[in-house]
Structure 1
Amino acid sequence: MKQKTAYVSKTVGQLKPSGIRRFFDLAAGMEGVISLGVGEPDFVTSWSVREAAILSLEQGYTSYTANAGLLELREEISYYMEKQFEVRYAPDSEIIVTVGASQALDIALRAVLDPGDEAIVIEPCFVSYAPLVTMAGGVPVHVQSLKENDFKIQPSQLEEAVTERTKIIMLCSPNNPTGTLLSKSELEGIAAIAEKYDLLVLSDEIYAELVYDEKYASMAAISHMQERTIVVSGFSKGFAMTGWRLGFVCAPEEICAAMLKIHQYAMMCAPTMAQHAAIEALKNGSGDVEEMRKSYRRRRNYFVHSLTEIGLECHVPGGAFYAFPSIEKTGLSSEQFAEQLLIMEKVAVVPGNVFGDSGEGHVRCSYASSMEQLQEALKRINRFVDSIC
Structure 2
Amino acid sequence: MHGGDIYRNSIRTDFSVNINPLGMPSEVQWVLTEAVLHANKYPDIYHERLVEETANLFNAPNENIVYGNGASEIIMAICHSISPKKVLLLAPCFSGYETCVKGACQDCSISYHTLSEDNDFEIHHDILEHIQVEKADLMFLTNPNNPNGRLISKSLLDEIVISCEKAGTVLVVDECFLALTGKDMENSLAYDITKHKSLIVLRAYTKTFAIPGVRIGYCICADKLMASSLKNHLPEWNLSIFAQMAGAECLKHKEYLLDSAKLIEKERSYLTQGLANLGAKVFSSDANYILFRCADSELDKKVLKHSILIRECSDYNGLEKGFYRVAVKSHEDNEKLLSALEDLLND
State the TM-score, normalizing by the size of structure 1. Answer: 0.79
1:174 and 2:153 are equivalent in the alignment: no
For residue 40 of structure 1, what is the aligned residue in structure 2?
19
The answer as to whether partners of 1:184 and 1:217 remain within 8 angstroms in 2 is yes
* Aligned positions of 1:25-64 closer than 5 A: 28=9, 30=10, 34-58=13-37, 62-64=41-43
Question: Aligned-pair distance for 1:63?
Answer: 1.5
Identify which of 302, 313, 322 aligns with 2:289. Answer: 322
| Distance (whole Å) between structure 2 residues aligned to residue 75 and residue 340 of structure 1 | 48
Deviations 1:171-191 (A, max 9, x none): 001122211111112213322
Identify which of 45, 48, 59 aligns with 1:71. Answer: 48
Deviations 1:336-374 (A, max 9, x none): 33234445x554322222222236542111123x32221
Question: Aligned-pair distance for 1:229?
Answer: 0.8
Q: Radius of gyration: which is bigger?
A: 1
For residue 276 of structure 1, what is the aligned residue in structure 2?
245
Q: Percentage identity across aligned positions?
A: 19
| Distance (whole Å) between structure 2 residues aligned to residue 355 and residue 57 of structure 1 | 39
SS at match of 2:178: coil
| Distance (whole Å) between structure 2 residues aligned to residue 217 and residue 299 of structure 1 | 22
For residue 276 of structure 2, what is the aligned residue in structure 1?
308
The answer as to whether partners of 1:24 and 1:37 remain within 8 angstroms in 2 is no
Contiguous gaps of at least 5 residues in structure 1: 1-17, 82-87
For residue 61 of structure 2, what is the aligned residue in structure 1?
90
The answer as to whether partners of 2:51 and 2:65 remain within 8 angstroms in 1 is yes
Q: 1:161 to 1:191 in 2, by over 3 A?
A: closer
For residue 256 of structure 1, what is the aligned residue in structure 2?
227
For residue 289 of structure 1, what is the aligned residue in structure 2?
257
Q: 1:49 to 1:224 in 2, by over 3 A?
A: closer
Deviations 1:205-241 (A, max 9, x none): 1112111468541235679863211111121122222
SS at match of 1:353: coil
One-letter code of the match for 2:53?
A: E
For residue 352 of structure 1, what is the aligned residue in structure 2?
313
| Distance (whole Å) between structure 1 residues aligned to residue 321 and residue 163 of structure 2 | 27
Q: 1:272 to 1:356 in 2, by over 3 A?
A: same
The answer as to whether partners of 2:280 and 2:293 remain within 8 angstroms in 1 is yes
One-letter code of the match for 1:47?
A: S
Question: Aligned-pair distance for 1:25?
Answer: 6.0
| Distance (whole Å) between structure 2 residues aligned to residue 65 and residue 98 of structure 1 | 13
One-letter code of the match for 2:189?
A: M
One-letter code of the match for 1:308?
A: A
SS at match of 2:213: helix
The answer as to whether partners of 1:141 and 1:161 remain within 8 angstroms in 2 is no
Identify which of 313, 337, 341 aligns with 2:299. Answer: 337
Contiguous gaps of at least 5 residues in structure 2: none
* Aligned positions of 1:238-253 closer than 5 A: 238-251=208-221, 252-253=223-224
Q: RMSD across aligned C-alpha pairs, in angstroms?
A: 2.7
One-letter code of the match for 2:309?
A: A
The answer as to whether partners of 1:127 and 1:354 remain within 8 angstroms in 2 is yes
Question: Aligned-pair distance for 1:147?
Answer: 2.1
Q: Higher helix share goes to which structure?
A: 1
One-letter code of the match for 2:44?
A: T
1:377 and 2:345 are equivalent in the alignment: no
* Aligned positions of 1:120-269 closer than 5 A: 120-137=88-105, 138-157=108-127, 159-160=129-130, 166-212=136-182, 216-220=186-190, 226-251=196-221, 252-263=223-234, 266-269=235-238
Deviations 1:83-137 (A, max 9, x none): xxxxx4211x1111111111111111211124xx111111222221101011121
For residue 10 of structure 1, what is the aligned residue in structure 2?
none
